[in-house]
Amino acid sequence: MIRIVIAALVVAATLASPQAAAQAWIGLLKNTPAERFQEDDLQMFLEHARKALNEAPDNQPVSWENPKTRARGDVTVMRSFEYKGLPCKELRVRNEAQGRKGDNTFNLCNADGKWRLLSSSQLKSKK
């Protein structure tokens, strides 16, 4: 469940403004550090997730921290690859808020300018 929630949040980061993403995904944040994010924490996270996916080189963490709430995290493109002709990235997401920590890895592919989650079963069948 946590993997799906964070993946949805990452995908939302590329699809919408921080305010719209926060509204769209607020119900899916249960049992993750993001559940404890304040609105400005979520905006910072979404901004940095977008930056990691769209600008950061592989293995270069894009870190964020809100000094007001002490929520923090980083998003790292672990590797870039191709799947069925689409540019893809393995993304590591680490967040911390109010004593809760999360560390997950996801595979996302860019189709028509939008990042979409790639399941483990899809990756296994790519050969």
User: What percent of the chain has a predicted confidence (pLDDT) above 90?
Assistant: 50
Please state the pTM of the whole predicted model.
Answer: 0.74
Residue from 105, 110, 1, 107 nearest 55 by CA: 110
Question: Mean pLDDT across the stretch 91-107?
Answer: 91
What is the domain extent for residue 32?
2-124
Predicted pLDDT of residue 120: 74
pLDDT, one tens digit per residue, over 11-47 is 554 444 444 444 434 443 556 788 889 999 999 998 9
- Domain total for the chain? 1
d(C-alpha 87, C-alpha 98), whole Å? 35
d(C-alpha 77, C-alpha 69), whole Å? 26
Which residues is 26 bridged to in the sheet? none
Predicted pLDDT of residue 34: 85
Contact between residue 30 and residue 69 where contact means Cβ atoms under 8 Å apart: no
pLDDT, one tens digit per residue, over 38-90 is 999 999 998 999 899 999 999 999 999 999 999 999 999 999 999 999 999 99
d(C-alpha 45, C-alpha 72), whole Å? 8
